[in-house]
Amino acid sequence: MDHLIEKTINTRDIYKGKIIDLQIEDVLLPDGGKSTREIVRHPGAVAVIAVTEDKKALMVRQYRKALGKVITEIPAGKLEKGEDPLESAKRELLEETGYTCREMKKIASFYTSPGFADEIITVYFTDSLIYKGEQNTDEDEFIDVLELTAAEISELIEKEEIHDAKTMYAAMYLQMKYDR
């Protein structure tokens, strides 16, 4: 696939933030031409499709400043430095919802915006939840926990309150898994 590859000539660091960094890369194109690529560096993320005994999905409702609105998503968060993704997924589930679980398995991973960001999200599934108690979020995180039926998930997709890639993926996964 060498006829597709771009080589980096120069990298400029534009910004180093608490969650993302921004770099501009000057690249040599496959035909010898030149271009620039704007690249957001991200530590990676995890998300959990968590299903209760009565087949409801655990979701979190939060305000997203980038969108300027409240949306409902599956529990998720970014990887801490050096953290194993499975441990990260269990930590985020507990922090955001107050649930831990007996078993959790990886079902998929995907890049969220391959055109400009290296963020990769690993998605886990669990249906062996154990309630531990109150959520314990970061000090700048404000989250409502919801338990949604299949019909409620469809309704929130219709209303565009469920409106992000990982949760739309999760909704379809649940639909296929439980044939609903």
Query: Which of 45, 48, 79, 89: binder of its own copies (CB under 8 A)?
Result: 45
Query: Which of 25, 83, 127, 152: binder of its own copies (CB under 8 A)?
Result: 25
Min dist CB 134 to its own copies, Å, is 16
Return the number of other C-beta atoms located less than 10 Å from residue 142's C-beta: 10
Min dist CB 88 to its own copies, Å, is 14
3-state secondary structure (DSSP) of residue 82? coil
If the CB atoms of residues 86 and 168 are measured against its own copies, the closer one turns out to be 168
Q: Does 119 bind its own copies (CB under 8 A)?
A: yes
How far apart (Å, rounded) are the C-alpha atoms in residues 44 and 78? 6
If the CB atoms of residues 86 and 117 are measured against its own copies, the closer one turns out to be 117
How far apart (Å, rounded) are the C-alpha atoms in residues 62 and 65? 10
Query: Which of 10, 32, 54, 66: binder of its own copies (CB under 8 A)?
Result: 66
Query: Which of 80, 149, 172, 178: binder of its own copies (CB under 8 A)?
Result: 172
Q: Does 156 bind its own copies (CB under 8 A)?
A: no
If the CB atoms of residues 53 and 179 are measured against its own copies, the closer one turns out to be 179
Q: Phi, psi (5° rounding) for residue 93?
A: -60, -45
Q: Does 35 bind its own copies (CB under 8 A)?
A: yes
Active site residues: 139
If the CB atoms of residues 34 and 87 are measured against its own copies, the closer one turns out to be 34
Burial 67-85 (b: 16+ CB within 10 A, else e): eeeebbbbbbbbbeeeeeb
How far apart (Å, rounded) are the C-alpha atoms in residues 75 and 26? 37
Sequence-ordered list of residues with C-beta below 8 angstroms from that of 129, at least 6 positions apart, any chain: 50, 51, 52, 53, 58, 99, 100, 101
Q: Which of these, 45, 41, 137, lies nearest to 88 by C-alpha position?
A: 45
Interface contacts to its own copies, rule CB under 8 A? 1, 3-6, 8, 14-15, 17-20, 22, 24-25, 27, 29-31, 33, 35-40, 42, 45, 61-67, 70-71, 73, 78, 108-119, 121, 139-140, 142-144, 160, 163-169, 172-173, 175-176
